[in-house]
Amino acid sequence: MPATPPSPAAATTPPWRSPLFWLLAWALASTASRVLLSQALMWDQAEQTVWSQQLAWGYGPQPPLYTWLQWAVNGVLGPTVLSLALVKKTLMVLTFVFMFIAARQLMPAPAAWLAALGMWWLPGMGWQALRDLTHTVLLTCLVAATWWLLLRQLRRPSPGGFAALGLALGLGVLSKYSYVLFAGAALAAALSLPQPRRALLSRGWWLAPLIAALLVAPHALWVLQHWQEASSSTLAKLRPAYEATGWRGMLAGLGDLLTMLGLAALPWALMAWWAFGRRAWRTPAPSADTTPPWAVPLLLRYLGLIVCGLLAMVVLGNVSNFDGRWIHPLVCMAPMAAFAWRPGLGDQPRGRRRYLGAVLGMALLLWLGGAADPLIDARRGRADRFNWPVVRMAERLRAAGYDGRSPIIASHHIIAGVLRTRFPLAPVTVCDADLPQAVGCVRQAVRAAEARGQGWLMVAADDAAPNGWWLAGTPASGALPCLQTWALPYRRARADTPPLRLDLMLHTAPIYK
């Protein structure tokens, strides 16, 4: 009996019709262009390259989760630009996927995809795609994942769901400390509504705080033991020394906060208004069967609590400075809230086409912008760090006698991270020349190398390190090698662009044997 041909409705949808296909295509293209563009690093990725040399419960002012992920990928692929790009692009794709399945708890699939893909028009997501942000990328991903698990639990509570939510809460705190504000606002908003409150207090609710606390406890203990190291940098960013204090500082903080909140979702709002037209947003559409009645009040109360929390930071905490990347993860659910309010917009063919066209255009623009930025800077004669002559630098160091294994003592994270990608067998120590403890750091690193019978390389790039920094590298024998200064032309640079300055002092083992 001949097989019955499949009906058109049962035919398999071509992969290229799925938004996930295009997200993966963007991630692959973006990763490839990043690797081909430059082997140099910016600040955040250089930090990760240095920190991921070993596992620890804390790394300076940041929680450890991103570094743990980078350590795992480096273990397979080595400390390379490819490893850095893969971690970041994977997290960005997962952010869209988690936001889609979160929105799917509240609306049909067409509207859920619009809610997720609309994040391309949030300035924070665009900034993450263009530059080298790390912890903010992970935070945004875990915020989206938490929304999915929370909304799923509110609809269908179960002990297993509480365990998964507790896992997300613990990992979120280990991604970036501002996650605490998000989690507190989301849970408080849910507890303020009768039906979500009953779901959150149902059988097995205690699993969520227990699992979260167990995950966070080791790092919390580390923070208590390293409080100055963990908090000083963050507090300095929130309250810069040059900012006004008192009433003037409070007004400056309020103005900065209102500006950042206004810009956080304004580009998306204007694009969505254009795509569907003002009448579509003003005219109430029938609620989708999948949209629970508590969805919009929950999301609005969450946004209100976020604003109140940020205002409290200004009024009670004297915070006078806000960065857009701090605000973005807290409001990345704004498109989801809008489509939960008007889920029927996902069924409007013309508006959906315009909306998806704008999303695709923005994704391409950001990809091309990230690839073209170093080229444009080179043509303008600007010393962009992506144009550092990394390969030439490594070749010159080997020719000068560096063996590729001896410890490297660097004056800042960028040159440290760059050299680690070229010499993965060499342990790298950053002794920041701008910090008062730099001299002691250098001396300690030198004594450790001497105890192991090794030589070492001291290096500073871009900015000269003070004399005391170099003198701290004097070996026990007292024989200090000559300080060398190299001028390395930037890649793609104009002829009149000043070269990169590289200062180095190479100690070989025979000096102190």
User: 353-371 pLDDT, tens per residue?
Assistant: 999 999 999 998 888 887 7
Strand order in the sheet with 484-488: 428-430, 408-410, 456-461, 500-507, 484-488
User: 177-223 pLDDT, tens per residue?
Assistant: 999 999 999 999 999 999 999 999 999 999 999 999 999 999 999 99
Co-location of 349 and 400 in the same domain: no
What is d(CA 229, CA 170) in angstroms, rounded to the nearest whole number?
A: 22
- For residue 300, the model assigns a pLDDT of 95
Residue 439, domain member (yes or no): yes
Considering only CA atoms, give the Rg of the chain: 26
Q: Which CB contacts under 8 angstroms, 24+ apart, belong to 247-253? A: 249/318, 249/320, 250/314, 250/315, 250/318, 250/320, 252/320, 252/321, 253/313, 253/314, 253/318, 253/319, 253/320, 253/321, 253/322
What is d(CA 302, CA 451) in angstroms, rounded to the nearest whole number?
A: 56
What is d(CA 453, CA 445) in angstroms, rounded to the nearest whole number?
A: 13
Co-location of 174 and 145 in the same domain: yes
Contact indicator for 508, 455 with CB cutoff of 8 Å: yes
**Tens digits of pLDDT across the chain (513 residues):** 444 454 444 446 677 778 889 999 999 998 998 898 888 898 889 999 999 999 999 998 889 999 999 999 999 999 999 999 999 999 999 999 999 999 999 999 999 999 999 999 998 877 666 677 889 999 999 999 999 999 999 999 999 999 999 999 999 999 999 999 999 999 999 999 999 999 999 999 999 999 999 999 999 999 999 887 777 666 555 555 445 566 676 777 777 778 777 778 889 999 999 999 877 777 665 555 678 899 999 999 999 999 888 888 777 767 766 776 778 899 999 999 999 998 888 888 899 999 999 999 999 888 888 777 777 777 776 777 788 999 999 999 999 999 999 999 999 999 999 999 999 999 999 999 888 889 999 999 999 998 888 889 999 998 888 999 999 888 877 777 889 999 999 888 888 888 999 999 998 875 444
Co-location of 323 and 401 in the same domain: no
Characterise 381 by phi-psi region: left (phi > 0), alpha (psi -120 to 50), beta (else). Answer: left
Residue 9, domain member (yes or no): no
Residue 202, domain member (yes or no): yes
238, 245, 317, 321, 433 from 242: Cα distances, Å:
11, 9, 17, 11, 22
Co-location of 64 and 166 in the same domain: yes
How buried is residue 489: exposed, middle or buried, by Cβ count under 10 Å (0-12/13-18/19+)? middle
Co-location of 184 and 240 in the same domain: yes
| Residue 200, domain extent | 16-372
Residue 378, domain member (yes or no): no
Co-location of 240 and 140 in the same domain: yes
Tell me the pTM. Answer: 0.90
E-strand spans in 67-202? Answer: none
Residue 176, domain member (yes or no): yes
What is d(CA 145, CA 198) in angstroms, rounded to the nearest whole number?
A: 22
What is d(CA 11, CA 1) in angstroms, rounded to the nearest whole number?
A: 21
- For residue 335, the model assigns a pLDDT of 94
- For residue 123, the model assigns a pLDDT of 85
Please name which of 278, 282, 266, 267 lies closest in space to residue 351, comparing C-alpha atoms: 278
Token duo for residue 83: 């490893």
Amino acid found at 243: E
Domain boundary among 322, 338, 372: 372
Please name which of 38, 25, 17 lies closest in space to residue 364, comparing C-alpha atoms: 25
Residue 133, domain member (yes or no): yes
What is d(CA 217, CA 127) in angstroms, rounded to the nearest whole number?
A: 32
Contact indicator for 198, 156 with CB cutoff of 8 Å: no
Phi, psi angles (nearest 5°) of residue 497: -80, 125
Co-location of 68 and 124 in the same domain: yes
Co-location of 185 and 68 in the same domain: yes
Domain boundary among 372, 401, 418: 372
- For residue 2, the model assigns a pLDDT of 45
- For residue 299, the model assigns a pLDDT of 96
- For residue 289, the model assigns a pLDDT of 63
What is d(CA 106, CA 114) in angstroms, rounded to the nearest whole number?
A: 13
Number of domains in the chain: 2
Contact indicator for 182, 299 with CB cutoff of 8 Å: no
